[in-house]
Structure formats: structure tokens, C-alpha cells
Amino acid sequence: MKAKTLALFCFGLLLAVFIVGWRQVTANIPNQKARSQDAQITVVKTSYQGWQDSWVLSNGHVEAVVVPAIGRVMQFRFKDGEGTFWENPKIYGKATNPTSTEWGNFGGDKTWPAPQSDWEKITGRGWPPPPAFDSMPVQARVDGNNITLISPIDPFYGIRTYRTIRLHPQKPVMTISTTYEKVKGKPKEVAVWVITQMRDPIGVYAALPQPSIFPQKYKKQSDQLPANLKVENGILSLTRNPKQNHKIGCDASTLLWVGEKVVVRIDSPRVTGVSYPDQGSSSEIYTNSDPDAYVELEFLSPLKTLSSGERINLTTTYTLIPRRTVNAEQEARKILGR
């Protein structure tokens, strides 16, 4: 009996030593969980709306569609869900044309240099946008679970753009890091400008800082103010007017698009104590009239004079949120905590 008890004791001791040792080994692998989460993200080449060599990033919950042929992130949606970004079906599959005097309004998410008021003196025309920012194909580089879009050097600004698109491994969140690199030419004062074209909303909302730098809480940028513009308890709200275009600027770090089934929240924190384009606007909202029913949620970086070899960056974070309540303003206030 004593021999049996001793054997059981030895076995238990060995088992305890093994468990402690295994815990020590696994404790030395802090990134094991992160790697397994990252493995959920897929990056798949596809044809999208007639554009070859497009890419779909997915984390199993949401997906982003990237189209290098037109230099845009064309869609962000829940997997198998309805798209939130506006797309122009009239020019699906069409190529860009940098020499055209007509703007190819493809939709999606893109970047232009700000302020727009400088375009004419730099490029010789006030419209369309500078070619390498808007109307030339870009190179796509796949880096693990990320995609980086790399533009040609713009012949007028001497700037190359980089846009790195990432999905969170588990959350319905996409991040786009937009960088301007000055490659050649004389120094130029510029800001990164990110424009996201969204489908016709039920409402658009901005979480205003308190206090705002603007006496009226916004900066009027069109002849008329947007439809149903209201500022109440720290939130600016408006809707799209189907008969007229409108635009305002503000100093919000968060903009909200509310659709019928889903909300898109876009965040890009404002930096204090620096100069912004468009009379100090770090975010802007544009509403387009019919027949192209869309709105633009826009963010801008601080202004910086770029010399050759210097860079400037703006990061925008996009979050998909399912609708929970019938009332759009209540939904917005709940999400924004106001």
C-alpha cells in the first residue's frame, strides 16, 4: 500500500511540474492570440463592377473593397450586407482620364490636396482635381493583411500619395492612413483631404467640440445652408436637399452617417493650436442634389509647407454600427454620447 501511495505521489508531482512548465512556455508567446485573430482577415483579388485587379479585405464580419484602377476604396459594408459608400453605376468599369475636362465621379473614398482654392494657381485649372490625386490608376501593394495604394507623382504638386487600408481583426472597423510625400518641385503648403461619398442618408450628424471655434458652430461654404440644419446640445444635424448642393465646415472630430439599417461613424481627431484649410475647418459635410443622391463626409489635416522628402499624414477610422432605434437623432445621440 505504501509503495502504491508513493507512486501516486510521484505521478502527481510530475504532473504539477509539467503544468507549471507548460504555463511558463505559453507565457512566453504573448502574440499567439493576436496572430490567430489576424489570421481571420482575408485579402482576395477580384473583379469589382467591371474593374479588374480589385481587392476585398474581410475579417468575417465586414469587408472593404479597394479598386486601384480608379484609386479609391469603393465600398465598406457588413459581409453580405448593403453598401454604405455611394457608387456611380453610370461609369462602372470605366477607366480614369487625367486629360479630361470633365470629372469622373466614381464614388467611394478618395483623397485630394487642400485647400481647393489653390488648385487653379498650382495646376492652371480650378476643376477637375489634380490628376494624380483623382484620375490616374494607382499601384496596390499587399502587406500581409493590409493594402497600400501608391499614386504616381502629381505633375503639379510634386506629391505622391500613400493610402494604407486596414481592418480590425474582430471589430467592424476600417482604418485608412493617408500620407502625402513631397518628391520634387518647390515647397508647397498643403493639407491632406479625405472625401468619403456616402449614399443618400436619413441624416448626417457632427459631434461638435464645446466650445466650438466657430461662433455659429459651423462655417458656411455654399450660398445656402443645408436642409434641416440644426445645432442642439453639442450635435449638428442636417439632411440632403434633392434640389440644391450645400456645404458647411466645422471643427468636429466625429461625423455620423445614418442610413435605414446601418450607421457609419468616421473619426479623425482635430489637432489644437495649428492652422487648418477652409477658414479653420477640420471636417466638412457636402450634400449633392439629384440625380446623384449622395453626401460627402470629409476630413482635413492641418496645413503644412512640404519640402522635398517631407511627409504629412491623416488617419480616418470608419466604424459600422447596426441601427437599434427607429428615431435617427436618438440613434445618433446614443452613439455620440450626447
3-state SS track over 294-337? EEEEEEECCCEEECCCCEEEEEEEEEEEECCCCCHHHHHHHHHC
What distance in Å separates the CA atoms of residue 93 and residue 128, rounded to the nearest whole number?
A: 20
Give the per-residue pLDDT at 60.
Answer: 96
- Name the pTM for this structure: 0.88
Cell output for 98: 487625367
What SS3 string covers 17-43?
HHHHHHHHHHHCCCCHHHHHHHCCCEE
* Residue in the structure block whose three cell numbers are 479585405: 57
Query: Among 119, 120, 165, 114, which Cα is nearest to 138's?
Result: 165
Q: CA Rg, the chain, in Å?
A: 24
CA distance 114 to 110: 13
Q: Per residue of the chain (338 residues), give pLDDT as tens.
A: 444 444 444 434 433 433 334 333 333 333 333 333 444 899 999 999 999 999 999 999 999 999 999 999 999 999 989 999 999 999 999 999 999 999 999 999 999 999 999 999 999 999 999 999 999 999 999 999 999 999 999 999 999 999 999 999 999 999 999 999 999 999 999 999 999 999 999 999 999 999 999 999 999 999 999 999 999 999 999 999 999 999 999 999 999 999 999 999 999 999 999 999 999 999 999 999 999 999 999 999 999 999 999 999 999 999 999 999 999 999 999 999 99
CATH of domain 110-336: 2.70.98
> So where are the chain's domains?
110-336
Hey, what long-range contacts does 221-227 have (CB within 8 A, 24 or more apart)? 221/247, 221/248, 221/249, 221/278, 221/281, 221/284, 222/246, 222/247, 222/248, 226/285, 226/287, 227/287
Looking at residue 91, what is its pLDDT?
98
Residue 208: exposure state from Cβ atoms within 10 A (0-12, 13-18, ≥19): buried
Specify burial of residue 35 (Cβ count, 10 A radius: 0-12, 13-18, 19+): exposed
Q: Say what the pLDDT of residue 35 is.
A: 39
Q: Give the pLDDT confidence score for residue 310 in this predicted structure.
A: 98
Distance CA(277)–CA(330), nearest Å, equals 32
In this prediction, residue 192 carries a pLDDT of 99
Q: 193 and 331 in contact (C-beta within 8 Å)?
A: no
Phi first, then psi: give them for residue 52, nearest 5 degrees: -75, 165
